[in-house]
Amino acid sequence: MVLSLYAILFLALHLLPGMKSSMVHLNKNGYDGVVIAINPSVPEDEKLVQNIKEMVTEASTYLFHATKRRVYFRNVSILIPMTWKSKSEYLMPKQESYDQADVIVANPYLKYGDDPYTLQYGQCGEKGKYIHFTPNFLLTNNLPIYGSRGRVFVHEWAHLRWGIFDEYNVDQPFYISRRNTIEATRCSTHITGINVVFKECQGGSCITRPCRRDSLTGLYEAKCTFIPEKSQTAKDSIMFMQSLSSVTEFCTAETHNMEAPNLQNKMCNRRSTWDVIKDSEDFQNAPPMTGTDSPPRPTFSLLKSKQRVVCLVLDKSGSMDSEDRLFRMNQAVELYLIQIIEKGSLVGMVTFESFATIQNYLTNITDENAYEKITANLPQAADGGTSICSGLSAGFQAIIQSNQSTSGSEIVLLTDGEDNQISLCFEEVKQSGAIIHTIALGPAAAKELETLSNMTGGHRFYANKDINGLTDAFSRISSRSGSITQQAIQLESKSFTIPGKKWINGTVPVDSTIGNDTFFVVTWTIQKPEILLQDPKGTRYETSDFKEDKLNIRSARLRIPGIAETGTWTYHLLNKQAKSQVLTVTMTARARSPTTLPVIATAHMSQSTTHYPSPVIVYAQVSQGFLPVLGINVTAIIESEDGHQAILELWDNGAGADTVKNDGIYSRYFTDFHGNGRYSLKVHAQAKKNTARLSLRQKQNKALYMPGYLENGKIVLNPPRPDVNDDTAEAEVEDFSRLSSGGSFIVSGAPPAGSHTHVFPPGKITDLEAKFKGDQIQLSWTAPGNVLDKGKANSYIIRISKHFQDLQEDFDNAALVNTSSLTPKEAGSIEVFEFKPEPFKIENGTKIYFAIQAIHEANLTSEVSNIAQAIKFIPPQESSVPALGTKTSATSLAILGLAVVLSIF
């Protein structure tokens, strides 16, 4: 059961919109549909486009040979931003957009670093989100540092497409091998070089000295650097150092370095990169091409983004009369038109029942009068059947008859009804080139809705009974152009059931990255409440300041004049009714200025569909520009069709579902299934009491920057890169609040709500560390849960051996440690356990390996943890490190006595 459960989890390659929905597909060994998008803030430069073409062309051939004649790039679209001048060769995009591109070209935030990287935070074998190249990387000569751009692209493509990880580790660049040698963390170990410390550098030359060993760890000192020889014979690996001319392959099972403490070994259970690639979906359908010819050169399409075109296609059938659905739809649409849609967008509206009516052709949203032209036609009565295809066809007509193309336009389709005729218009939808965002309102909405979103790259949402689900969905449907400063950001979205004659109070922080175009909206179900809103400086806004809509859709809105004050805003609402009623509060804002990148939060599930008992992972990314925001509280709210809500705190601790600690990606397993059907996801990210900080460090999963190479016995240096010192690696971020819908996902095969079964084991421990403390061993790790990363495990099994392979290949027969005194802590806690490693004799040079399993009370067992190593070691009185220029790949350790060492595999 456990093995099949994890096989399902790790092989799941579905990505839910909200993360992204790549259009790439493999067709007879060639990749079609690759999208490379240039950010609107990048200045126009023909050389940039030319260099992108050259990079992909070179990468195609390199990739073809690296995959043993299996895959290459056939068709690539380059998305030109609206900010560039139009040219005759620029075509109209279809579903291609910046926010769903496979590769983005954008400046780094804070002008820090040009290292190419892939935003990748799924499990082993799961696709990444996007590759990020800076314009500077694409326009300047980086050949000595990273190797050719084509090689770098293949390194990053392997992250993005196949879910493999780097074979180096900047945080642990060296480790002690089973042969008692200090090795550079790499794959393969056939790559040779020297280890030096740079003392003084002027111009292109440096004074170096041999590395000294740290007396605590037995490893090299922190400043030690591995400098590879320029001329190598090793062919692998692309995921370590693609810059070496000899490197043309991925590490295979034969050449893979299982000992290296890198992310590939941690995430993929010490499997080689080639083994993971071979198991990918791509390679199940791509046998090697015959012959000896190189693949055909890629073809490129230049597509230019267009003005945003959105048509609302809204259900007004008879079923919309129940549960106030028509009212709630109108409230959410009004919010979307006034607060969310970007100025300058073209918006139309269609309503449908058994037939469809075009209520508004495309209107340019320039001012409040434009909004009112559309809101005036919102449906006031519900009647008739449900014909979704009629609504979509009318939506296309509204766009075409406004002299716009459906290609690249967006349809927002909202319905609560069943319709078994949707498949009849699938072909029309495909041919339109439009993007369909679907909002399923209530549990009876047509089951085929998601197919429309999936085939067009649109978002998909599920909203249940309260207005917040709808407003959250509409708030997420923002511009796909990459212009983040123009997008509306949701700060608050709360619903309260207020007893008669009672007050409710609340606060919302407004941080300095936002404040422009700020709205505070209150809705009610019976009677307008008394409203009091106060800004941080004490300015009060009362009920009379709020504008009530003309359509009697029970909402009142205040647009804050100018720029909203930074600090804590306070609101008070009084239910003037004798009966209780539901009140909601929504607050949105845009970036403070076009040059201020706001803090944003996005969320998604690891899979768009899951079949019980396969768990899914909730992901939330919190960032400012490309920099992660750390140290905040992130909560997921997941609601099933029967209205059951699961509240889940997400973690960025590098354990359990979380790939990397402190990368601004907050994750957690979700196992609290409450029946089958649609589930909605919403995430609330909050920074309180000045705990938030901005990480200025380089990201994981990036191309390795090489400071230099050893050539003919001499070190040839590369230009230095901008770096961040440890004392300035983080910047403070003030308190903020963000809400974001993560769309919907579908569950099947789940037991009825309330039935309890034990199917999920404790999570795998991935951060086990070991060290000697005198004659004692100290182990530390992050506690898993009883159910993956939830609750407390029942017990632990710890085994030890003097041989790495014993734990790797035959864990159950290795020596057992007495853990009777060890009581598991709550998931996410730090566990520390000390013991005497009997029956082993401890002497100078003793090396011991450790691994651990967690046990559920129903005897479900976690996977075996990573293998940790401890060595009893004291460095010699005098260093015996080889002198500069010695051509070795490792340094032998002289084992003389008492010390500590840790290493993670």
Q: SS3 for 432? A: helix
CA distance 300 to 280: 26
Is 777 within 8 Å of 870 (Cβ atoms)?
yes
Is 629 within 8 Å of 694 (Cβ atoms)?
yes
State the sign of the Cα–Cα–Cα–Cα dihedral 98, 100, 105, 107. positive
117-119: strand order across its sheet: 117-119, 130-133, 103-105, 34-38, 75-80, 299-304
CA distance 850 to 802: 9
For 822-873, list the strands marked E by DSSP: 830-835, 847-855, 868-871
Q: Is 156 a catalytic residue?
A: yes
For 651-802, list the strands marked E by DSSP: 665-670, 677-687, 693-695, 708-711, 714-717, 730-732, 736-748, 769-773, 776-782, 795-801
Q: SS3 for 806? A: helix
Is 581 within 8 Å of 575 (Cβ atoms)?
yes
Cis peptide bond N-terminal to 116, omega within 30 = no
Is 750 within 8 Å of 614 (Cβ atoms)?
no
- The Cα-based distances of 335 to 474, 538, 608 in angstroms read 8, 27, 27
CA distance 183 to 174: 5
HSE-up of 867 (CA within 13 Å, CB side)?
26
Q: SS3 for 859? A: coil
- The Cα-based distances of 70 to 54, 236, 295 in angstroms read 21, 18, 10
Q: Which residues contact 748 (CB under 8 A, 6 or more apart)?
A: 609, 610, 611, 612, 676
Burial 529-547, CB ≥16 within 10 A → b, else e: bebbbbbeeeeebebeebe
364: number of Cβ within 10 Å? 12
Angle in degrees, CA 353, 477, 380, rounded to 5: 30
Burial 761-779, CB ≥16 within 10 A → b, else e: bbbbbbbbbbbbeeeebbb
Using a CB cutoff of 8 Å and minimum separation of 24, what contacts does 879-884 make?
Answer: 879/210, 879/212, 879/213, 881/195, 881/210, 881/211, 881/212, 881/213, 882/194, 882/210, 883/210, 884/194, 884/196, 884/208, 884/209, 884/210
Helices 46-66 + 149-162 axis angle, to 10 = 70
Backbone angles phi, psi at 545, to 5 degrees: -80, -15
**CA neighbor of 161 nearest in space, from 266, 72, 272:** 72
642: number of Cβ within 10 Å? 11
Q: Which residues contact 740 (CB under 8 A, 6 or more apart)?
A: 472, 475, 476, 490, 600, 601, 602, 603, 620, 682, 683, 685
Is 608 within 8 Å of 746 (Cβ atoms)?
yes
Q: Which of 156, 353, 410, 641 is catalytic?
A: 156
CA distance 740 to 747: 21
Helices 368-375 + 325-335 axis angle, to 10 = 160
Q: What does DSSP say about strands 103-105 and 34-38: parallel, antiparallel, or unpaired?
A: parallel
User: Which H/E stretch holds residue 877?
Assistant: none
CA 487 and chain centroid, separation: 19
Burial of 720 (0-12, 13-18, 19+ CB in 10 A): exposed
Q: Active-site residue numbers?
A: 156
